[in-house]
Amino acid sequence: MRTTPIPSRSCDGRPRERAATPGARRAEEPFVRLRLVASADSVRVVRRAMTDLCERLGIAAERAGEVRLAVTEACTNVVLHAYAGNRPRGILEVDARRADGALVVIVRDFGSGLAPRPDSPGLGIGLSLMALLASRFEVRRDPGERTEIVLTFDLADAAR
C-alpha cells in the first residue's frame, strides 16, 4: 500500500509528517490536533496554531481574530481552572478542522469540570465572551472527567 505524508502538528505546534492511508485526510485539508501540558506556554502554542490554520483556510483577518480570542480564552480557562486545587497540572487538547462551511474547534481537558470558584483569578466573563465570538458554543462533560468546549465559527462570510 502506498502512503503519502500529511502534515500534522507536534506537541509544540511545529509541523511533522505522518503517513496517510486511503480515506485519510488529504494534505490540502488543513487541521490542528494538539496535546499539550496545560500551561501558559501551551496557550501561546495553540494561539500560533490557530493563526496558521486561519491563514491556510483563507479566513479574513477580523474573523481570524475572533477565532484566536475565543480559543485563547478556552485554553486559558483550562490552565487556570481545570486543574486547580490539589490536582496536578494536566493535559490540554485542541482539535480544529473545517466541517460543513464552518471551523470547529474543540478544547478539551481532563480536570475538575466547570464549577463556580470564589477564589477565581479571572473576571468571570470568559464563557460569555466565547459564546459571543463563536457562531455556536457548547460545553460537554462526560462521567470520565473530560470537559470539552466546542466552538463553531461559520465561515460563509469569513473568506478573504
Q: What are the pLDDT tens digits along the chain (160 aa)?
A: 333 333 444 444 555 444 444 455 444 578 999 999 999 999 999 999 999 999 999 999 999 999 999 999 999 999 988 887 766 779 999 999 999 999 999 999 998 877 655 555 555 678 889 999 999 999 999 877 799 999 999 988 666 5
Q: Distance from first CA to last CA of the chain, Å, rounded?
A: 38
* Domain assignment present for 159: no
Q: Which residues contact 55 (CB under 8 A, 6 or more apart)?
A: 64
Cell of residue 153, nine digits? 465559527
Residue 57 CA from chain centroid, whole number: 15
Residue with cell 485563547: 72
Q: Is this prediction's pTM over 0.85?
A: no
* Domain assignment present for 25: no
Domain membership of residue 41 as a residue range: 30-114+128-154
Rounded Cα distance between 90 and 78, Å, is 9
* Domain assignment present for 1: no
* Domain assignment present for 119: no
* Domain assignment present for 14: no
DSSP state of 144: T
